[in-house]
Structure 1
């Protein structure tokens, strides 16, 4: 898991930087709704990065270099502990615990709030005993929490616009998209760009929701909506949790009010173009195209990490081999390593891949695809300098 996260961190970071710059400089020409839709590029990139290595590959025959792994490389049990994985998992657990606390708190606050079913308000609306809200939460059914002074602070028009704003979040699926975004934040908690991107994503979400709510509103309704936003800024929420929607600070509210004067639809062309670009770039990065690279050109390994002989295999006296297909990039780093054949199956695969992915080859400035190597896991060590020749039974003549 950590290998996948580290592998996609660089393209993910580049995409987040592009999206953050777009939020800063393209809001006026593209509009809030289009910029918000562009954030779907993030899960799309991660999905493509996960699926591309699983696509079938054509295995071409070629020379297979062989290296022997001896019993002296038996790993101690303590060495099998991947400290990087446990560090990452600890961060994931902390983030997950905070999100669970957020859900429990918002649920408890809704239960404490006063029901408004006897009024003109929907049954899923409740009034808090403090300045919390307005916000909407929920997983299966919507739950709207209104501040204690909701009916005195806002007039009838503002009340309807605020409720429409919260319900728009629910109808568009914003809450469930936020759950997905928070899962990604928890998985990539070690990347500061992810935290910054989540903040900007939520900001874009609010701007897009404002644009949709006021799409067909009159000038008077937009003015009333703007005053409602200002009023919400002057009366900050008593608390804020990541699973709820908050109206934002003064600078955020100022931009939201400014955007009410502009009414732009969503540019499907721009969104589809970005999606196609993300998919194409991800596939090309995962499957680099070789142009003019000679298949006969030989590579030299300048650094090889010896695999560790699995303890159980050594105790049971099991020998075997693993044949691996891999690519070498322009800098000589191994990528796209996959097991072609192994015997016994699955016994030495993990250790063979772990070691091979750390090998370093000569940097030729070109990509070398479809390299092959065989790692022989042997209990009896052959002395250095002794040539080894594999003899296989001849095929029977028909």
Structure 2
């Protein structure tokens, strides 16, 4: 897991850097709603990376190198711990713990608040005994928490616009998208760009929500809404949760007030174009780059770690094979290893991948794509000079 995340860090960081660098320029050019929608390229990129290994591939069986695995490496011990994995996993657990604590604390704050009835909305609203809020929360049903001076600080028009703002978050699914974003932050907690990106993503979310709420508002209503935002910058909330937005943040509020002066819709062409560009770039990066490799740059295995024969398979007299596709980076390290075929399925896969990831090849200075190897797990090792023919049972007939 850590190897995959580290390999993903560079292209992922470049994508986040690009989004962070152009966000202000795109905001002025296309508006808040388009900028917010452009953040969809982040999960699209990650999804494309995850789905690429599932695409069908044409395998040239003649190109598969075969290695025998005997019982001398019988797996009767627990796999040694990887300190890097446990460091990453500890960070993930800390992030998850922080988020759970925040959610529980915010729920407790809402439950302590006084219920209020607002005729214009059908959502459960409560008024806190502090200046926390306004914000909307909930997993399956929306709940709005209002600050203790909500009805004194804002007039009727401002109150309705603020409530519509919170309800718009719920209708668009912003809260659940925030859960997804925080899951990515937790996975990539070690990358500071992820934290910066999450901050800018949430700011873009608020700007887009303002634009949607006020798109049909009159000039007077926009001015009133701007005054409501301005008054919120003077308030320092007693609590702040990662799943809610800090209304009192001065820089965010200043930007939101400025954006009220311009109304720009959602440019679907720009968003779809960006998504297509990211998917295309991801596919291009995965293409083989060995067309011009000379013979002096061909791969040679320097170190091969033999897989351990699974104890249960040895006890049951099971033998089989695993075919693996992998890449070799410029330093000769095996990356992106994945099983393309195995028999019996799932019996030897884990040990084959574990061992193969420790193999070392000669460093050629370039990345070698789509290398193929077959590991034959056999109770009795066959002599190297003996001709071998693989025989597998036919697939069961469909009734």
TM-score interval, smaller chain: 0.7 to 0.9
Show structure 2 runs of 5+ residues with no match.
Answer: 392-399
Query: How far, CA to CA, are the matches of 1:345 and 1:90 in structure 2?
Result: 32
Q: What is the SS of the residue equivalent to 1:275?
A: helix
Moved more, 219-228 or 67-76: 67-76
- TM-score w.r.t. structure 1 length? 0.86
Moved more, 34-43 or 1-10: 1-10
Query: How far, CA to CA, are the matches of 1:118 and 1:66 in structure 2?
Result: 72
Q: Is the 8 A contact 1:189 1:195 kept in 2?
A: yes
Query: 1:125 corresponds to which residue?
Result: 125
Q: Is the 8 A contact 2:235 2:248 kept in 1?
A: no
Q: Is the 8 A contact 1:62 1:372 kept in 2?
A: no
Query: How far, CA to CA, are the matches of 2:390 and 2:144 in structure 1?
Result: 77
Query: 2:395 corresponds to which residue?
Result: none
Q: Which deviations, in whole Å up to 9, do the C-alpha atoms of 1:261-289 show, x marking residues without a partner?
A: 22222221111111001111222233436
Q: For residue 347 of structure 1, report the CA deviation from its aligned partner.
A: 3.4
Matched, 1:260 2:260: yes
Query: 1:390 corresponds to which residue?
Result: 386
Q: What is the SS of the residue equivalent to 1:373?
A: strand
Matched, 1:283 2:279: no
Q: What is the SS of the residue equivalent to 1:234?
A: coil
Q: What is the SS of the residue equivalent to 1:21?
A: helix
Q: Quickly say closer, same or farther: Cα 1:118–1:234, change in 2 above 3 A.
A: closer
Q: What is the SS of the residue equivalent to 1:221?
A: helix
Show structure 1 runs of 5+ residues with no match.
Answer: none
Q: What is the SS of the residue equivalent to 1:62?
A: helix
Query: How far, CA to CA, are the matches of 2:145 and 2:344 in structure 1?
Result: 60
Q: Is the 8 A contact 1:293 1:367 kept in 2?
A: no
Q: What is the SS of the residue equivalent to 2:90?
A: helix
Query: 1:99 corresponds to which residue?
Result: 99
Q: Which deviations, in whole Å up to 9, do the C-alpha atoms of 1:46-98 show, x marking residues without a partner?
A: 11111110111111132443444455545673544344444333333322222
Q: What is the SS of the residue equivalent to 2:372?
A: strand
Matched, 1:207 2:207: yes
Q: Is the 8 A contact 2:320 2:342 kept in 1?
A: yes
Q: Quickly say closer, same or farther: Cα 1:125–1:364, change in 2 above 3 A.
A: same
Query: How far, CA to CA, are the matches of 1:377 and 1:121 in structure 2?
Result: 66
Query: 1:19 corresponds to which residue?
Result: 19
- TM-score w.r.t. structure 2 length? 0.85
Query: How far, CA to CA, are the matches of 1:237 and 1:227 in structure 2?
Result: 18
Q: What is the alpha-carbon root mean square deviation over aligned residues?
A: 3.1
Q: Which deviations, in whole Å up to 9, do the C-alpha atoms of 1:76-122 show, x marking residues without a partner?
A: 73544344444333333322222222222222222222222276664
Q: For residue 35 of structure 1, report the CA deviation from its aligned partner.
A: 0.9
Q: What is the SS of the residue equivalent to 1:26?
A: helix
Query: 1:65 corresponds to which residue?
Result: 65
Q: For residue 158 of structure 1, report the CA deviation from its aligned partner.
A: 1.4
